[in-house]
Amino acid sequence: MNRRFGARWLLWCALLLFSGATEAAARSYPMDTMAPRSDLAELIQSVYVQVTLWDLLVLVVVIVALFLAIFWFSTRFGEPGEEPVQFHSHMGLEVAWTAGPILILVLITVPTVRAVFNTQPYHWPKEALTVRVIAHQWWWEFRYPSLGAQTANEVHIPADRMIHFELESADVIHSFWMPALGGKRDVVPGQINQITLVAKVPGEYYGQCAEFCGASHANMRFRVFVDTAEGFQRWVADQLKPPVMPASGLASEGARIYQNAPCAICHRVKGISGFSKQYEGGFRGPDLTHFAGRSTLAAGVLDNTPDNLATWIQDPQTVKPGALMPRLGLKGHELTALVAYLESLK
C-alpha cells in the first residue's frame, strides 16, 4: 500500500513539475509548443505524446535485447564455449520483427490521420468565423469577410468559437504558424489551405512564417490576440469606424504630408488613400486605417512607438532588408508630423 502511495505521489509531482515547466516556458519562450491554448494544439500535442511513447517502447525493447545479448547470451572470456545452434529460419522471429513494426506504424498512423481529418473538415458550422489570411513578402493581411473588417500583422479572434482560417499567398510560398494555437500550414500561391481551431485561453500569442520566403523571412511575424466575446465585439466595432481626421495641429500637418507622399499609393486609410474615396485596389502595403491601435509595426519586428515608427519610415531596409517600402527622405518637422498623424489613427 505504501509503495502504491509513493508511486502515485511521485507521478503527481512529476505532472505538476511538467505543468509548471510548460507554463514557465510559455511565458519565457512565446514560440514554445509545450503549452497548448486551443483544441488544435492539444490534439497535435496528444499525437506527439503517443508517438513519443511508442518510440520509447521501441527504445526499451532494443536496450533490453542489447543487454541480454551482452550479459546473458554471450560467452565470457575463459569459459568453455559451445557451438551455437544453427537456424536457417525461425518463423516466430520472422513474424515478430515483421508484425511488430507494422503494428507500431498503424498505432502511429491512426491518431495522425484522425488529427488531420479533425483539423481540416469539409464543412464548418454556421457560427464559425472565417478569417482570410493573405501572405505577402514580408507581412500578413487579415480579412474578416462576414464582418467587413481588415487588419495587418495582428489578428484578433474570439475565445471558445470555431475559427476557420483560409490561407493564400500573394507572391511566394509561405507557412502560417501559431505555436501555442497549433498550425504550421503552408501558404501556397494559387491554392487555398485551411486551419480550423477553437482558442480556449484569452491572451496574446506569437506567430511566424515558417517557410523560407526571401531575405526578411525571419522578420515576417505576427501576433494573435484571443479576446473574450465582448472584447472581440468591441474590437470589431472599432475597426469598422472611419479614421478621425485631425482638424489642426501637428497630426493635421502629417495628414497632408501622408496624402501627398507615396504613402497613400501603397497604404490604405479609408476615405483618404487612392485616387478617390471609393478606391479599393492596388495597395501593396498594410492597411493603416487603425494603425495606432496595433501593438507592433513592420510585421511584429518593432513595438509601435513614435521613435520606432520614425526609424522605420526613415530607412526600412535597416529594419527589414529587402522590404518593398522605399526610403521617403522625410526629416525633421515633416517626419515628426507624419509620425504624429499615423499614431493618431486609433
Nearest to 184 by CA among 304, 52, 287, 48: 48
pLDDT, position 243: 81
pLDDT, position 160: 92
pLDDT, position 232: 95
Pair 272, 288: CB distance under 8 Å? no
Peptide bond connecting 177 to the previous residue in cis, omega within 30 degrees of 0: no
Pair 300, 153: CB distance under 8 Å? yes
pLDDT, position 76: 64
Pair 226, 198: CB distance under 8 Å? no
Spell out the residues 6+ positions from residue 329 whose beta carbon is closer than 8 angstroms to its own.
none
- Residue-wise pLDDT for 264-314, tens only, equals 778 888 766 554 444 455 677 888 889 989 999 988 899 999 999 999 988
Q: Which parts of the chain have pLDDT scores under 50?
A: 1, 3, 5-8, 10-12, 14-26, 275-279
302: phi then psi, degrees, rounded to nearest 5 = -125, 150
> 0.85 cut: is pTM over it?
no
pLDDT, position 133: 95
Q: How many Cα atoms within 13 Å fall on the side-chain side of residue 239?
A: 20
pLDDT, position 78: 61
Pair 153, 286: CB distance under 8 Å? yes
pLDDT, position 142: 95
pLDDT, position 273: 59
| β-strand partners of 226 | 157, 203
Spell out the residues 6+ positions from residue 344 whose beta carbon is closer than 8 angstroms to its own.
244, 246, 251, 254, 292
Domains of the chain: 21-75+92-228 (2.60.40.420), 249-342 (2.60.40.420)
Residue 128, helix vs strand vs coil: coil
